[in-house]
Chains A and B, each alone.
Chain A
């Protein structure tokens, strides 16, 4: 379950932010995850919740934006969305690296991202003395 490693490095980065900004509380973190990275969103949510339990990050919400795949063909001039393989056995359409224009192998230009995009936080009110 590589989602665990990814959630762990996410929490590590956010904890760094919390340490540097002790007066701020993170309420939401937004990720960008590419269509070509094989990351189960539900698994990632689950791992994030379990790791952040009983930490200052507990209760913060994880939002995931999907990034579409784009490919480029070195054999012809095609640049654009990949060709999908619609196969009922696969469950959902499968991205292929077959050029939609000439049929040879393409390379990806976008869609492998797995990154933190932004963080929403609120200011913790100082306790009145």
Chain B
């Protein structure tokens, strides 16, 4: 019987023996609870948060900047940039005159719900309809830490090679949308966008996969539409 994670039973012990107690306690529970609180706060204000995950350099910041450019005149948008060390990404987006919060993580491996919750207190949430959250460039850790977003997007790029989906399946199982970015480079990289998409569908048959190029602008409109529909 799991309760709040408290001690279920204590046994009076006599010396020289080893005793066992059940101690049901989830180690991810604290983050999950805060993620739910974030979500409740966002819902209450009619704000949709989208979490972008993906490898270092897959194009998360560039894609978010393109989406912001497309949407900022139609609705209130804001961006949270998870960045381990620098404020380069936050600076790049702040140029567009939308609220940006840079979230520096301590161990640099993932954003967590606590940090995002702090970020939410820094913006005028009533004015924000769509919140983009850029997670740390990491294919493994962020999957374990929900933030309270309505959808999680994985951004992969063809420059990561043809096998990246099957080598990092974990992140895709928890996502609601997959973007295959840098398709302008596909030919030079000899990587098939169709094969990458088919790998994603082997993991999760119904997930939407959108090929994009932030360079030519191809697919950006489709990503914007998909995000507005979540």
Contact = CB atoms under 8 A, between A and B. Distances in A.
A41 interface: no
Given A85-B166, A90-B169, A120-B20, A13 B13 contact: no
A42 interface: no
Interface residues of A, number: 44
B143 interface: yes
Contacts of B206: 104-105
B205 A98 contact: yes
Interface residues of B, number: 41
A123 interface: yes
A51 to B, nearest CB: 13
A1 B27 contact: no
A90 B23 contact: no
A114 interface: yes
A89 B165 CA distance: 11
A72 B13 CA distance: 43
Contacts of A66: none
B109 interface: yes
Interface of B: 5, 7, 10, 13-28, 30, 107, 109-110, 112, 140-141, 143-145, 163, 166-167, 169-170, 173, 202-207
20 contacts: A5-B112, A6-B28, A9-B30, A10-B27, A24-B13, A31-B27, A90-B166, A94-B169, A95-B173, A96-B202, A115-B26, A117-B24, A118-B20, A118-B21, A118-B22, A119-B23, A121-B13, A121-B19, A123-B13, A123-B17
